[in-house]
Amino acid sequence: MERLSYRFWLAVGILLAIPIVINLMRSPEKTPEMDSSGFVNLSDVVPDAIIEARYFATYNFVGARVDGYLEPVVLYTREAAAALKEVSDDVKARGYRLKVYDAYRPQCAVDHFVRWGKDLADSLMKPYFYPEVDKSLLFERGYIAEKSGHTRGSAIDLTLFDMATGKELDMGGVHDWFGIESHPDYGGNPDTGEYTGGVQITEEQFRNRMILREAMLRHGFQPYDCEWWHFSLKDEPYPDTYFTFPVKTLKR
């Protein structure tokens, strides 16, 4: 009788444990932030764009590969990529190609930026990206924030590549330069395209910035008042979602 009772309760225990084991073996349920189904590999939609994935490499203001960038690719929402294809066709007809540094940025990458910003001892890339700004002021001046429009998937950092010279168009400053020189209104009025001078960028450099800006605005993008290279799709599809999936080639 004791042996029968032992076997009975052992069987009951196994039966009760089966659902628990099955649940543990299941993949974790995806949250909206993990869902990449609304995104595309930018090169698939805009094949003429030159990709220079700055945060996969080490030439960036952090000086290291940034968390969440697993491959040197650029991801973008379907809607934003379609609009960017129109921009690409526009500038290509004028002898230029788009050169893209970054678009979708996972939240873990933004978190990496925040940790880096708080580590005041790390000034490795200061001579290249923020020589005139004290690192302790980067948050206060809005260069680093805990949330980024890039993480919603419809913001992009880019410039123009001149097909005639085989070089980037001279914009009078580099991508991710922390300083007033990066503001679109530095040296002129971006709304009218008028160059006012009295600054470190030339009229030609200001005009080059305006070529990019005007092309982006013509096709549904809006500018950012602190960075000449940053634009966002006006009607972004995920205005309230900050995505977490990593940057790597999407398999469809």
The predicted pLDDT at position 24 comes to: 47
pLDDT reported for residue 26: 55
Predicted pLDDT of residue 23: 53
Q: What is the pTM of this model?
A: 0.88
Domain positions in the chain = 38-233
Please check whether residue 232 is in contact with residue 148, taking contact to mean a CB–CB distance below 8 angstroms.
no
Mean pLDDT, the chain cut into blocks of 10 residues (252 residues total): 56 56 56 96 98 98 98 98 98 98 98 97 97 95 93 98 97 96 97 94 98 98 97 98 98 83
User: Which CATH architecture does the domain made up of 38-233 adopt?
Assistant: 2-Layer Sandwich (3.30)
3-state SS of 135-179 is HHHCCCCCCCCCCCHHHHCCEEEEEEEECCCCEECCCCCCCCCCC
Coil, strand or helix: which one is 207? Answer: helix
Instruction: Check 52, 79, 168, 227 and give the catalytic one.
Output: 227
- Residue 132 a catalytic site member: no
